[in-house]
Every structure is written in C-alpha cells, then in structure tokens.
C-alpha cells in the first residue's frame, strides 16, 4: 500500500493541522475498504495501476484536502464586488500618485522623459503593493465575515438614487481632470518663487504685477476645489444637483478672479534698469505681453460665463428629471 | 451578451450538481438513521441510485457532525478501526423539517410543470 501512504501523506500536507490525524485515519480506512472490496470481487490482489486508479478517482490530494477546509475561498461572494471596487480605486489612486510625482518632478527638475520612465517603472511595484494589502485586508474581513452584519442589516432606502445615462460621468475623464488640476495647483504654487514658470525666459526682464499676489491663493484654492470635485466624481461617477452647484460655484469663482485680473489692467511690469539684449527698452515687449494676458483673461472670463450657463441648464434639467413623473426606467444607467 | 449552447454539457453538469447538493444532505441524514461508516454509507447511497464521490461525502459528514446533526465514534469492525456515524437527536428533528420542505418543493414543482405553458398576453 505504498501508493496509499504516499497519497495520504500528500493529503495531510494541505489539511488543517488540528484535524490531520483524524481525517487521514478515516480516509485511510475508507480507501482500504474500497481496495479490499475490489480485491474480493476480483479474487486477487490489485495491481499498482488498479490502486492508482482508485486513488485517481478519489481526487487530487489538494482538492480532497480543500474540501475539508471551512473557508474554501479567500474572498467570497458577499465581499467580492466591494473588493473589486476598492481594488480599482486603489490602483487608480496609485496611478494618479505616480503621475503626480512625475509631473511635479518634471516641473521642479525638468527632464520629462526621465520622470515618465521612472513613473512607468515604479507603477507595477505600487500596484502590487495596493493589490497585496487590499487582498489581505479583504481576506481578513472574509475570515471574520460572520461577525459583520452589513449584508443582512441594510436599508434599501439608503441605496444611491437612480442614475440616468446622461448623468453618468466618465471615470477616465474625472481621473484626467484630477491629475491636471493637481498639476496646475502645483504649478501655481511654484510660480511666486519662480516666475519663469509663467513667463519663461522673459522672467529675466519682466516681473509679475502686484495683482498676482492678490489672486494666487484664490486661484490655487479654486483649482484644488476642482480637483476635489473630480475625485468625488471619480468615486461616485454621476452628476447630482449638489455637484452641479459646486461646479457653478467654481466657475463663478473663476469668473470673479478673471474680473479682478481684468480690472488690474497690468499683469507684468519691466524690471527697473533692464534693457533687452539689443539695447532697446522692454516697454514694447511689456505692452505685447500685457495685451496677450488681457486677451487670455478675457477668453477665460467668457469660458467661465458659458460654463456657468451650461451648468445651470444641466442643473435645471437634472432637477426636472429627479421628479418621479419624469422617471423613465429605460434611461437608467446600467 | 453571449449565450452558451443549450447542449453545452457543462451547463447541465453544474445545474445538476447544484440540484443534487441539497438533496444529498437530506439523503445522508436519512441514511444515517441507521449507523454506518463512510464506505458502507457511500455504497448504500450508490445502491439507492445516488452515487457520490468520497471527496464530497466525507467532508459533508464532518460538516454535519460539526453542526451537531451527526454523532460519530471510532470502533473496531472486521479487525479494523472505523468511524461510525449516526443521526443525532437534533439531526432527526432537522431531517423531519427538511423532508417536509423537500416534499413541499416537489409538490410545487409538479404543479408548475403540469400547468400549460402560456406566454404573457
């Protein structure tokens, strides 16, 4: 019965240690009974191949042992959906963080290709870290799931409101908006200490006008508010009235800052006592840059007005659709 | 959306397994009104037309014992020690309830199957 001993040894390896002896003893007895019955029927001892056939039909040692485990899966059906959702959020966050590190690194030190390559190489490690920890935490939750009651004690009235297809927000867009907003916030934060980030080489003979000291902090605050909204949109990807109002508030803030900037009339000034390389006065250049700024701020103002108007219409339309009489199940986003 | 073929044997096998899983528990509890050890129990089920592989039966016996529906003891039989299982008092009560439930399902199913097929008007 060498084959049987080898088989039982293999099964034992995967059994819970507290039950190994008992289960193996029982399996052994039952398999021996089976072999003896077969031998009695044939009137001879079984060949090695015939014994192997009985064991093969009994099942692979790992599968046989697995059936004795009380928990046969790492994450079960009750938690799998929230596990996958958390994993997606975690992996996307790791992607955002990686992209931000690359963007900030590029802003601070240049060399965008090097930073992009570093980010590309760093992401698998971060993703694996997120995957490992998320899986570990959910496996622990699964293990203690009996103590959790959220799948049995829940209130259907607390489920999210119905989302219409046209209210859906693309998660990819939200993610890009978030990355772009954070990069902009970082860029604006660095401009007061390094005006060349805004003015380029012209920072050698141009200074930012005093109005910028007034608007930098509000601009950064608005951009961060926009980033926060993108993050919320990423997590809950559908428009709601409150989020429309937030968006309108952000565009109104941008409009207000555009007006403040436009009223200043001057956005850059020439540094005192500096002439251009050809010996001429930088006044003409200052005038060209100021005109460019004026056009830019004016365009930004118009964009803000258009966006406020569009968002207001969307808000009104969403409020109308929220009323039960307007409900059309066919348009529910699935 | 993809549809698996009606003749796909995998679909039938999975559904059959699902269908048998619950019935097997009832059958094991019913068979263990008389004391049996694993191998003889398996043979008894097989002779009754309900063949079950060892990999399913023995873990099931353990689970039912853990749930208090079976009791077991190691005893010498035919010069070898074997683990004998029998229905506990709790097991007998649960078995009675399960049989009522099974018959109720059977009645409902027969009723549904005997009704003429009609579509939605």
pLDDT in tens, B38-77: 889 999 999 998 888 888 898 899 999 999 999 999 988 8
Q: What is the pLDDT of residue A328?
A: 47
Report yes or no: A165 and A333 within 8 Å, Cβ to Cβ. Answer: yes
Which residue in chain A is spatially nearest to B72 when comparing CA positions? A26
Q: Do B82 and A29 touch (CB under 8 A)?
A: yes
Nearest by CB to residue A29, choosing from B53, B62, B80, is B80
Which residue in chain A is spatially nearest to B41 when comparing CA positions? A30
B-chain CB neighbours of A68 within 8 Å are 58-59, 62
Q: Could you read off the pLDDT of B101-114 as tens digits, one per residue?
A: 999 999 999 999 98
Q: Would an 8 Å CB–CB cutoff place B59 in contact with chain A?
A: yes
Q: Would an 8 Å CB–CB cutoff place B38 in contact with chain A?
A: yes
Q: What is the ipTM, given to two decimal places? A: 0.73
* Close Cβ partners of B114 (under 8 Å, ≥ 6 residues apart): none
Report yes or no: A318 and A148 within 8 Å, Cβ to Cβ. Answer: no
Q: Would an 8 Å CB–CB cutoff place A26 in contact with chain B?
A: yes
Q: What is the DSSP letter of A203?
A: G
Q: Do A23 and B83 touch (CB under 8 A)?
A: no
Size of interface A-B (CB pairs under 8 A): 46
In whole angstroms, give the CA distance from residue A176 to residue A126.
19
Torsion of CA B19, B24, B29, B31, to 10 degrees: 130
Q: Would an 8 Å CB–CB cutoff place B81 in contact with chain A?
A: yes
Q: What is the pLDDT of residue A132?
A: 93
pTM value surpassing 0.80: no
Q: Would an 8 Å CB–CB cutoff place B79 in contact with chain A?
A: no
Q: Would an 8 Å CB–CB cutoff place B76 in contact with chain A?
A: no
pLDDT averaged over every residue in chain B:
87
pLDDT in tens, chain A (334 residues): 688 889 999 888 888 888 888 899 988 988 888 888 888 888 888 888 898 988 888 888 888 888 887 766 788 777 888 888 889 888 888 888 888 888 777 777 777 788 788 888 888 998 999 999 999 998 888 877 655 566 666 677 776 666 666 677 888 888 888 888 888 888 888 888 877 777 777 777 788 888 888 888 999 999 999 999 988 888 888 877 888 889 899 999 999 999 998 888 888 888 877 776 776 777 787 888 888 888 988 999 999 999 999 888 888 877 776 554 444 444 544 4
Report yes or no: A96 and A178 within 8 Å, Cβ to Cβ. Answer: yes
Q: Which residue, among B42, B59, B60, has the nearest Cα to B51 in the 3D structure? A: B42
Nearest by CB to residue B38, choosing from A30, A37, A64, is A30
Q: Among B43, B46, B51, B55, pick the best mutation site for testing chain A contact (most A Cβ within 10 A).
A: B55
A-chain CB neighbours of B21 within 8 Å are none
In whole angstroms, give the CA distance from residue A180 to residue A184.
6
In whole angstroms, give the CA distance from residue A115 to residue A99.
9
Half-sphere exposure of A115 (CA within 13 A, CB side): 16
In whole angstroms, give the CA distance from residue A30 to residue A24.
10
Q: What is the pLDDT of residue A330?
A: 44
Strands of the sheet containing B80-87, edge to edge, are B36-37, B80-87, B70-77
Which residue in chain B is spatially nearest to A60 when comparing CA positions? B55
Nearest by CB to residue A34, choosing from B39, B62, B80, is B39
């Amino acid at each position: 019965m060498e084959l049987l001993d080898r088989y039982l040894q293999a099964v034992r390896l995967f059994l819970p240690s507290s039950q190994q002896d008992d289960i193996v003893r029982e399996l052994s007895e039952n398999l021996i009974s089976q072999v003896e019955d077969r031998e009695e029927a044939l009137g001879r001892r079984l060949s090695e191949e015939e014994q192997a056939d009985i064991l093969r039909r009994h099942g692979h040692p790992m599968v046989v042992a697995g059936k004795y485990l009380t928990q046969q899966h790492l994450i079960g059906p009750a938690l799998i959906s929230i596990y996958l959702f958390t994993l997606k959020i975690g992996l996307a966050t790791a992607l955002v963080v990686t992209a931000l590190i690359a963007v900030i690194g590029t802003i601070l030190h240049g060399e965008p290709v090097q930073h992009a390559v570093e980010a590309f190489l760093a992401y698998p490690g971060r993703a694996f870290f997120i995957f490992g920890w998320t899986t570990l935490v959910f496996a622990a939750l699964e293990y203690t799931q009996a103590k959790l009651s959220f799948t049995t004690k829940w209130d259907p009235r607390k489920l999210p409101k119905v989302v219409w297809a046209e209210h859906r927000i693309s998660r990819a867009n939200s993610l890009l908006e978030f990355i772009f907003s954070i990069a902009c916030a970082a860029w604006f934060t660095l401009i007061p200490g390094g005006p060349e980030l805004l003015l380029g080489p012209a920072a050698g003979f141009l200074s930012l006008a005093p109005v910028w000291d007034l608007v930098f902090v509000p601009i950064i605050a608005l951009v961060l508010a926009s980033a926060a909204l993108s993050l919320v949109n990423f997590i809950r990807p559908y428009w709601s009235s409150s989020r429309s109002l937030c968006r309108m508030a952000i565009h109104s803030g941008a409009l207000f800052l555009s007006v403040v900037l436009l009223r200043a009339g001057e956005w850059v000034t020439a540094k005192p006592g500096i002439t251009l390389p050809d010996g001429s006065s930088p006044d003409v250049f200052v005038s060209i840059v100021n005109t460019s700024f004026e056009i830019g701020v004016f365009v930004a103002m118009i964009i803000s007005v258009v966006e406020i108007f569009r968002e207001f219409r969307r808000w009104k339309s969403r409020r109308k659709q929220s009323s039960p009489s307007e409900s059309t199940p066919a348009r529910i986003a699935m | 959306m993809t549809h698996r073929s009606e003749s796909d044997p995998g679909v039938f096998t999975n559904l059959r397994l699902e269908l048998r899983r619950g019935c097997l528990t009832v059958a094991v509890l019913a068979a263990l009104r008389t004391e049996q050890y694993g191998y003889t129990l398996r043979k008894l089920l097989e002779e009754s037309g309900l063949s079950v592989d060892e990999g399913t039966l023995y873990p099931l016996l353990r689970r039912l014992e853990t749930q208090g529906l079976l009791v077991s003891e190691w005893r010498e039989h035919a010069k070898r020690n074997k683990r004998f299982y029998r229905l506990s008092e709790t097991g007998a009560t649960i078995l009675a309830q399960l049989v009522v439930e099974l018959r109720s399902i059977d009645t409902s199913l027969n009723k549904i199957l005997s009704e003429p097929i009609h579509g939605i008007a």
